[in-house]
Amino acid sequence: MKIGFLQQHNTSNVVNNIERLCDGIRDLAKRGAELVVLQELHNSLYFCQIEDVNLFDLAEPIPGPSTDIYGRVAKECGIVLVTSLFERRAPGLYHNTAVVFEKDGSIAGKYRKMHIPDDPGYYEKFYFTPGDLGFEPIQTSVGRLGVLVCWDQWYPEAARLMALAGAEILIYPTAIGFDPNDTPDEQERQRMAWQTVMRGHAVANGLPVVAVNRVGNEDGVPFWGTSFVCGPQGELYYEASTTDEESIIVDIDMKRSEQVRRWWPFLRDRRIEAYGDLTKRFRD
């Protein structure tokens, strides 16, 4: 399967961001992409750096204006498209939601981000209610997509549950960058930890992983790009720049996971009868 992604630098001009994304999607489709993945909250700047009730105005219903736009582009291009939107579910109830479009432009499914961070510069708990749709892969014409979002990427439980539900690939739209107050060494440790943990999910579950991050400086926060695609043994197929926008297609052998799981039958050897304490916050 030919997977395309756009690593983009966003501005405060939402209309322009969307136009550039749509142009990029069309270009990837012309180059042969069958599945296109966009970064987290791609319509706007990453607004969670501050707590401001007026920023809830960026949210919209699903279906809504953005799903109309991206659905039309998916149909026009004949691709499966993974988007990431700020969902207004009801007054005072908002989610960070990935929406997947089928080749005919219809909504194949959605996933609401389950793990919500609250760190300096990432005040997401102010904006997003944790997801309530569970860890369910989305069935599409190119396969069963295990779509998770950003902070979910640190949790092996999320990746495992997607795998156990039949996901054929793990996909992470994300928005993460450096704290400019950290030392260069600490910044690099965090960037590599971010990539390493997702490559570990690929290995542990025998599945390819696609992670698409934003890039560029937004209100003093430099997002570190490094969007990547890896195979079911964690092998890197492509790693994007830390500083530049990129439009990339990576060809993945989706049948390889079956063979890798035969060599390394981790799902067979799980001791599920011994894992009950995973449902506890901590074992005192």
Residue with tokens 């720049």: 241
Q: Is 30 in the active site?
A: no
Catalytic residue list contains 22: no
230 DSSP β-pair partners: 209, 236
- In contact, 87 and 133? CB cutoff 8 Å: no
* CA separation for the pair 89, 44 (Å, rounded): 19
Side-chain half-sphere of 181: how many Cα atoms within 13 Å? 2
Question: Annotated catalytic, 40?
Answer: yes
Exactly one of 110, 150, 168, 230 is catalytic; name it.
150
Choose, from 34, 87, 103, 113, the residue flagged as catalytic.
113
The backbone torsions φ and ψ at residue 119, rounded to the nearest 5 degrees and listed phi first, read -130, 165
Burial status of residue 114 (CB atoms within 10 A of its CB: 0-12, 13-18, 19 or more)? buried
Task: Please give the structure tokens belonging to residue 162.
Answer: 């997607």
The CA distance from 22 to 6, in Å, is 10
Q: What is the CA radius of gyration of the chain?
A: 18
Where helices occur in 31-179 by DSSP H, the ranges are 65-77, 156-164
Can you tell me which residue has the tokens 């207004």? 88
* Residue with token string 């400086």: 217
Chain centre to alpha carbon of residue 17: 18
From CA 70, how far away is CA 280, in angstroms rounded? 40
- Of 40, 87, 102, 218, the active-site residue reads 40
Active site residues: 40, 113, 150
